[in-house]
Amino acid sequence: MRHKTLQAMMIMSSALLIACNDSGSSSSSSGNGDNGNGNGDNGNGDNDNGQLTVNCEANLDLADNNDGLSREGHSGLSFFAVQDRVCALDSEQGTVFEVARSDNGEDVQQMDTHFSTDASGEMTIEGVVYAMDEHLWWADADASAGGVTPRQISSESRGEDVDSLRVEPDYQNSDNALVVYRLDTEFWYAVPVDAATSQDPAALELPDDGAVSVIAVRDEDGAIEGLILPQGDPSEFTMVFRDIDALDDEGTELDDLSDNLQVLKVGRLDSGDLLIQTRAGYVRAFDREEQELSDPVAIDALDDGVVNLVVTTRYANDGENVYIADHDSDGARLTRLSIDSGEPDIEILRSDIEDAEDFPKFVTTTDDHIVWAYSIEDSDDQIIEVVESIEKADTDQVADYSLPENLVIRDGIGSIGEPWVHTSGNKVFFNASSRSFPDPEGETFRAYWLEPDADPDALNYREDQNWRLALSDPTIHPAVGLARQERSEILVVARDEDVSDSSEEDFATAVPASEPDADGVELGKYGADGGPIGPFLLSSADYGFGPGRLAMRSMTGGENTLYWLDVRHEDSMKPILRNEEGQAHRLQPGF
């Protein structure tokens, strides 16, 4: 069993953030032999002019050296996919290798991480599940280079037709995890992750309405108990509960869902109870112990019960409540949903912010606060980003912060997706950048953080930097749905102010979440190699436990480079693979 714990991974005394700066060219990404990812004894296939072929084979210098880099604390394999291959890094041996390759040459599109917990309740990674050629496969994370033999899951023989796949973990018994997947956009199945090749998957027989949800039910300890799923006519179908031990049975009927067009979001509370929001603008509560689904309750704040598209509605979950931030003709508003005596309880925290422009930027929670952000038009017709902090215990206590008018909360350029926002304790971290790009004379990147309890008036930032990736608290389950994901370490990327000089290279630094302004541990550089540069080019899977992480420098239509880094040690950022064809390496949660 693979277990990456935060307690043993730090040189610093507290959780870490990671930062990147720019200081010219570096051999760390040049593909030479000294860095273990180039030609000669460390070969990675053909290497013309330092460009690495994609063949999942490389050796990295992860042994003790003068830079303090050490094998200590590395355990298990880190998986990723590129083109038609599943690959893995053995950080103990410093070896990158191929786990599996499609016989049909088809790209690996469907893969998910199999999470569990150890005896202390901390997160572990058992392995990964992926669809390749005719079958479903499981690969063990607790193996080593040369020792991985993927195991076929169930009798499924149409793996090439899988177009959606996820692993629903069981945090008490890893063998009870379910693989839930769809064939040809309409046929849904579920099968235990440990199913033998003689076991047939359970057909879920969902209505053919194009977009339906399969909802896993877990108890308060994270043990999976069954699935909630719709059955019958799509115009007025019935929700049923199927027990984990009887997935082939018809299940227990819960209620008709005549208020539903589609299930939109599911909030999973610490009790195991669920808040189920439907696209028609209603919310229902599911009582896990009684296996009862409440009557639908209209969310009055959401514009006559019509919920906006998912891309413009923001959600957060603190384990006791679900928070929804959205916008309609009356302005921005913030709604808190909870469960009271088996029924949904809806509380409007903020509403009718008439000057708000477009949809809110984010909503998140800390230990004691709800923090959300939106844009307003001020008296000078300037669009200003506003961040509000609201006390959970006294929602009349509101503090607001305004960003400079030239900055917008986002990652990258022109993105309408949800921005990078993480929390640690009572701190919130987010990014902002110039409204126009490129603008060599005035372009700005800032990595912001605020801490309402300690300094309610301060909006702090690191200039010319962006938060990019985090090391997650292993006591928080990254469950499917609106799960809480407390962070304990975060990556920051910085670059030279002269964006017109594409020969410069950015660098990454790990800094503590408890001290976001600390100098931190300089991890190394990642090269520009021509084209635009900027902190938003470095990314990772949404969460991972460290101390080692996979990170990718990606450019649309251009070269993508995969890196390995260790937050404890200087100069630990090492290039693994470059893909010259513009196809990104697919990173998995947890790694």
Taking only the tens place, the pLDDT of each residue in 350-386 is 887 877 877 888 999 988 999 999 988 876 777 888 9
Per-residue CA distances from 42 to 100, 340, 574 (Å): 21, 61, 13
Nearest to 12 by CA among 587, 488, 559, 467: 488
Tell me, what's the pLDDT at 414?
A: 46
Tell me, what's the pLDDT at 279?
A: 66
Tell me, what's the pLDDT at 25?
A: 28
Assess whether pLDDT exceeds 50 at residue 401: yes
Q: Output the DSSP codes for 480-545.
A: TTT----EEEEEEEE--S-TT-TT--EEEEEEETT-TTS--EEEEEE---SS---GGGEE--S-B-
Q: Do 559 and 579 contact (CB within 8 A), yes or no?
A: yes
Q: Do 86 and 562 contact (CB within 8 A), yes or no?
A: no
Q: Output the DSSP codes for 350-417.
A: EEEETTEEEEEEEEEE-SSEEEEEEEEE-TTS-EEEEEEEEESS-TT-EEEEE--TTEEE-SSSS--S
User: What is the phi/psi pair of residue 175, to 5°?
Assistant: -70, -15
Rounded CA-CA distance 550/560 in Å is 13
Q: Do 562 and 577 contact (CB within 8 A), yes or no?
A: yes
pLDDT one-digit tens code per residue, 89-122: 988 778 889 999 999 988 898 999 999 888 787 8
pLDDT one-digit tens code per residue, 507-522: 788 888 888 988 888 8
Residue reference for tokens 């999976």:
224
Sign of CA dihedral 506, 510, 514, 515: negative
Q: Is 261 buried (19+), middle (13-18) or exposed (0-12) by CB count in 10 A? A: middle
Assess whether pLDDT exceeds 70 at residue 212: no
Nearest to 146 by CA among 98, 75, 92: 98
- Alpha-carbon dihedral angle through residues 169, 175, 176, 181, given to the nearest 10 degrees: 60
Assess whether pLDDT exceeds 50 at residue 69: no
> Which amino acid does the sequence have at 116?
S
Number of H helices, E strands in the chain: 0, 46
Tell me, what's the pLDDT at 302?
A: 46
pLDDT one-digit tens code per residue, 216-265: 999 988 899 999 888 777 666 778 899 999 999 888 888 766 555 567 77
Q: Do 11 and 501 contact (CB within 8 A), yes or no?
A: no
> Which amino acid does the sequence have at 361?
K
> Which amino acid does the sequence have at 334?
L
> Which amino acid does the sequence have at 533?
I
Rounded percentage of the chain residues whose pLDDT exceeds 70: 70
Q: Give the pLDDT band of residue 535 (cuts 50, 70, 90).
A: low
Q: Do 263 and 202 contact (CB within 8 A), yes or no?
A: no
Per-chain mean pLDDT for the chain: 76
Assess whether pLDDT exceeds 90 at residue 500: no
Assess whether pLDDT exceeds 90 at residue 455: no
Assess whether pLDDT exceeds 50 at residue 496: no
How many CA atoms lie less than 13 Å away from 143 in the CB half-sphere? 18
Average pLDDT score over residue span 202-215: 74
Q: Do 494 and 513 contact (CB within 8 A), yes or no?
A: no
Q: First vs last Cα of the chain: how many Å apart?
A: 15
Look at phi and psi of residue 514 and say left if phi exceeds 0, alpha if psi is from -120 to 50, else beta: alpha
Nearest to 52 by CA among 572, 562, 588: 562
Give the pair of three-digit tokens for residue 214: 């399969």
The rounded Cα 87 to chain-centroid distance in angstroms is 20
- Residue 360: asked if its preceding bond is cis (omega within 30°), the reply is no
Per-residue CA distances from 92 to 63, 72, 88 (Å): 9, 8, 12
Assess whether pLDDT exceeds 60 at residue 129: yes
Nearest to 487 by CA among 410, 550, 542: 542
Contacts for 394 with CB less than 8 Å, ≥ 6 apart? none
Tell me, what's the pLDDT at 300?
A: 57
Order of strands across the sheet that contains 151-153: 111-117, 123-132, 135-140, 151-153
Q: Do 545 and 590 contact (CB within 8 A), yes or no?
A: yes
The DSSP symbol for 103 reads T
